[in-house]
Amino acid sequence: VGHDQINTEIVTLTRFLTEEQAKHKEATGDFTLLCHALQFAFKAISHYIRRATLVNLTGLAGTSNTTGDDQKKLDVIGNDLFIAAMRSCARVRVLVSEEEEECIIFDEWPHARYAVACDPIDGSSNLDAGVSVGTIFSIFKLAEGAKGTKEDICLPGTEMVASGFTMYGASAQLVITMKGGSVNGFTLDNNFGEFILTHPNMRIPKKRAIYSVNEGNSLYWEEPVKEYVNSLKYPDEGGKPYSARYIGSMVADAYRTLLYGGIFAYPADKKSPKGKLRILYECAPMAMVFENAGGLAVDSHMRRMLEVVPQHIHDRSGIFMGSEQEVQKVIDVHQKYQK
Ligand code: P6P
């Protein structure tokens, strides 16, 4: 390959974060160090997800480590890797994990100024089927004088300083956005061991005839949801029905919706009146990504998802997120029922 075909301007996530920090003269570098620990966790989880398939299926050495511990389930490994990365960066005070009933407070870092919520391996039930799973995260900066308690992270998504996810698909795809910023996609290049900027400034199409919802819950849906989904499947005269795409792994469904457009929905329903997906580490982080990419995200009361305040760290919510015009259709149908 001629030297003129070699790209020497390789924007790694590491470089991207350094350049971001340089834009904020008051930055101390704490956020950058936190994100370096975060990206390491994603690289490690990606490695173990790909290895686990071999280990589980072929029983290759490694199914039990030297001390004879049982093979940890992958979501436990993902959780342990994430907690270790967040603890060791000395920049996180409060950590919420889907895998941990209680909030983790790092007492060894009383002056750390960040709180992180995460689902280390969201959709892990799909792992054995080879379906893409992912890590979803949200980052909050603690208020001045915060004592480091779970109240410090029960905040609306508008308080997040950054959020995003990493999808472990054919390659590891990381999507990250800062408060009020753009959405940037990175692909893990195992040769460099770095996430490379492959999708700068991601923008979701304003509309797209794709809907993503578990229709197996139709029996439990509220009337507005039924009417809305039926309007996509049985359009008025001359309309073309929407395509249905549902993977059942939020990160995979979200990534497709972000790239192609359309709508993803997990409505609250009669079976799950508060919804199924968690606010802190599924709904809010995804909502900020979608809003910053030009989309919308609302809960089942049609409130802006980022303004929903969790009372408890594992609180759930209904969610509709995606292309602006698609979410607007949901809002319009619900408004008919609110009169
Ligand atoms: P259902 C996976 O278990 C998960 O938490 C999300 O990743 C996914 O969007 C949703 O639940 C799927 O739920 O009820 O359709 O299987």
- Ligand 1 binding pocket mutation candidate from 124, 263, 276, 286 (most atoms within 8 A of CB): 276
Q: Mutual orientation of helices 30-58 and 13-22 as an angle, nearest 10°?
A: 160
Q: Mutual orientation of helices 284-292 and 250-260 as an angle, nearest 10°?
A: 10
pLDDT at 70 over 50: no
Q: Which region among 61-65, 173-177, 268-272, 305-309 has the lowest average model confidence (pLDDT)?
A: 61-65
Residue with tokens 């910053």: 292
**Distance from residue 250's CA to the centre of ligand 1 (Å):** 6
**Distance from residue 123's CA to the centre of ligand 1 (Å):** 6
**Distance from residue 276's CA to the centre of ligand 1 (Å):** 8
The pTM assigned to this predicted structure is: 0.94
pLDDT band at 77 (very low <50, low <70, confident <90, very high): confident
Phi, psi of 27 (to 5 degrees): -65, 140
pLDDT band at 6 (very low <50, low <70, confident <90, very high): confident
- What Rg value do the Cα atoms of the chain yield, rounded? 20
Q: What percent of the chain shows pLDDT beyond 70?
A: 94
Residues framing ligand 1 (Cβ under 6 A): 122-123, 125, 214, 248-250, 253, 276
pLDDT digits 0-9 by tens, 183-207: 999 999 999 999 999 999 999 999 9
pLDDT band at 1 (very low <50, low <70, confident <90, very high): low
pLDDT digits 0-9 by tens, 157-181: 999 999 999 999 999 999 999 999 9
**Distance from residue 239's CA to the centre of ligand 1 (Å):** 30
pLDDT score of 255: 98
Give the whole-angstrom CA distance, residue 276 versus residue 318: 7
pLDDT band at 64 (very low <50, low <70, confident <90, very high): very low
Smallest CA separation from ligand 1 atom 1, residue: 248
